Amino acid sequence: MTPPHSVYDAAGVQSAEILQLWHVIAWTCAVVFAAIVLVLLVAIWRAPRSSRETAPDLSGVDTPERGPRRSVTGAVIASVLALFALVVASVVSDRALARMSLVDAVNIQVTAHQWWWTAQYLNGPVSQTFVTANEIHIPVGKPVLLTLKADDVIHSLWVPSLAGKKDLIPGRTSKMHFRADRPGVYRGQCAEFCGLEHALMGLLVIAEPQAQFDAWASAQRNPAPSPTEAKTIRGRDLFQSQSCALCHAVQGTIANAQHGPDLTHVATRQTLASLAIPNSRAQLTAWISDPQKIKPGTNMPATPLSAADLDALVAYLETLK
Amino acid sequence: MTQPSRTVLLLGAIAAALLVSGCEREARRFATPPPPQVASAARLGLLQPATPQQGEVRLATVKASPYDGNAYGVNQGKRLYRWYNCSGCHALNGGGAIGPPLIDPEWKYGSDPASIYASIVQGRPEGMPSFGGHIPQDQVWQIVSYLRSMGAGK
């Protein structure tokens, strides 16, 4: 269902830089480890040996090792040099990460909640901004600047294919920037334990060509389409008169609460409940009738509805494209 | 080997009892009670009042909130008190503003759990809206427990 969550699947300049640093550190550590194991093996091989008949020759034990000072000095110098090389590599990578141009960047404000994400697209005048949840679309080859905020507790955003981790701290604003260089769907995840459903707090980043992104963005700016059939009209009325509208917003209707994900275009998203389940009719029905079965502890309560009402509500939500 | 003294054993037993007594305080339950069979709740227009709902507006049959003394339930109640904008009229910590305060002992419509439940679910004259059918039963009880923890009716 979801794409791989892997540092090795680097899809942008920032993640490529981080991957390069990872290779330098991993190979340096591997060489150091191999050297230590090698020296240990030599020491074991050189140790006095005995057989069944003869006692071990311990005569050399009392005579001091030749040149201990030389070996220790050599090892210290090698360690200092290796550590210094790692520091230099780290600084060089850091500067490379900071150097990425932010001209013409896509500005997105990401707010973390227990246990889902809000994404607010801030480019252009206020009439051009829009809100979506748990799914970020970005244009390929263009810098993206995320403004990170948290609503309740400390979270951390990690999309390993695109960038490193960054914490989202209540009351503070942090920034993060990256660029996707090839189109694709990349998985993100909360990387700081934030409560019961921390593990089911995923995020999709969808990188697509500029034209496709523009089409998506302009569709997201529209209010929700008005239902036309009797069944979907009933679904909308239920949405507004039951508990849904107390937490969710659907632009273009009276439902305007901000406590849960904005559902204006929920039918266009690939997953529900922050990557917990795929967005299908059956899963949506199961989710509304009892979210606690799928994501125990989630702030969405079960909604007791008759089968016909539930059907109408799901039919309405499926028209929100 | 020396035997631990009687005092040490007694102190150990008291410490263990204190630790164990805290266990229930944070208990969380996530299973949703099976929903009652509900009739269609659809309205034909926004101005038409909702059809009477037997399922949810019915008054509580129990006298106490299942979340009384449960830290998690009370905390959820606090969150919901803000989410559902109780704080809009009764003030952020229940001190009262447009609506009456909720931390004093004298309540117009009763401050026992069942009466608070009824006030939330049915609404009261002069401005308290009815939340029956909007806020699920379980969450109403969490709000009741939160109000009681703030000192309602004590």
- Regarding predicted confidence, which is higher, B33 or A264? A264
pLDDT score at B106: 81
Helix/strand/coil percent split, chain B, to 5: 40, 0, 55
Is the pLDDT confidence value at B58 over 70?
no
Structure-token pair, residue A271: 């997953």
**Cα-based distances in Å from A67 to A61, A62, B101, B114:** 15, 15, 84, 87
Q: Tell whether A307 lies on the interface with B, counting CB pairs under 8 A.
A: no
pLDDT score at A1: 57
pLDDT score at B44: 46
Q: Span A207-225, mean pLDDT?
A: 95
pLDDT score at B55: 47
pLDDT in tens, A28-74: 999 999 999 999 999 898 888 888 888 877 777 777 777 788 888 99
For residues A149 and A170, what is the distance between their CA atoms, to the nearest angstrom?
Answer: 6
Q: Which of A238, A247, A290 sits opposite B32 (nearest CB)?
A: A290
Residues of chain A positioned with their CB less than 8 A from the CB of B52: none
Q: Which of B42, B134, B138 sits opposite A309 (nearest CB)?
A: B42
Residue A108's DSSP bridge partners are A121, A146
ipTM of the complex: 0.79
pLDDT score at B50: 53
Mutate to test the interface with B, among A237, A239, A253, A293 (most CBs of B within 10 A): A237
Question: With pLDDT > 90 as the criterion, what percentage of chain B qualifies?
Answer: 23
DSSP letter assigned to residue A145: E
Residue A307 CB: number of other CB atoms within 10 A?
Answer: 12
Alpha helices, DSSP H, located in chain B: 6-21, 54-57, 71-83, 87-90, 113-122, 137-149
For residues A113 and A148, what is the distance between their CA atoms, to the nearest angstrom?
Answer: 11
- Regarding predicted confidence, which is higher, A280 or B62? A280
Is residue A111 a contact partner of residue A155, using CB atoms and an 8 Å limit?
Answer: no
Contact A246 B134 (CB under 8 A): yes
Angle between helices B113-122 and B137-149 (to 10 degrees): 130
pLDDT score at A101: 92
**Cα-based distances in Å from B16 to A265, B9, B13, B71:** 54, 11, 5, 20
Is residue B111 a contact partner of residue B119, using CB atoms and an 8 Å limit?
Answer: no
Is the pLDDT confidence value at A190 over 60?
yes
Considering chain B, what is the average pLDDT of its residues?
79
Q: Span B40-62, mean pLDDT?
A: 52
Is residue B80 a contact partner of residue B127, using CB atoms and an 8 Å limit?
Answer: no
Q: Which of A293, A301, A309 sits opposite B41 (nearest CB)?
A: A309
> Which residues have a Cβ under 8 Å from the Cβ of A131 and sit 6 or more positions away?
A118, A119, A120, A121, A249, A262, A264
For residues B152 and B110, what is the distance between their CA atoms, to the nearest angstrom?
Answer: 10
Read off the pLDDT band of B47 (50, 70, 90): low
Contact A296 B30 (CB under 8 A): yes
Contact A305 B38 (CB under 8 A): yes
- Regarding predicted confidence, which is higher, A13 or B38? A13
Read off the pLDDT band of B49 (50, 70, 90): low
Alpha helices, DSSP H, located in chain A: 13-46, 68-99, 210-221, 230-241, 281-289, 291-294, 307-318
The 3-state DSSP class for residue A124 equals coil
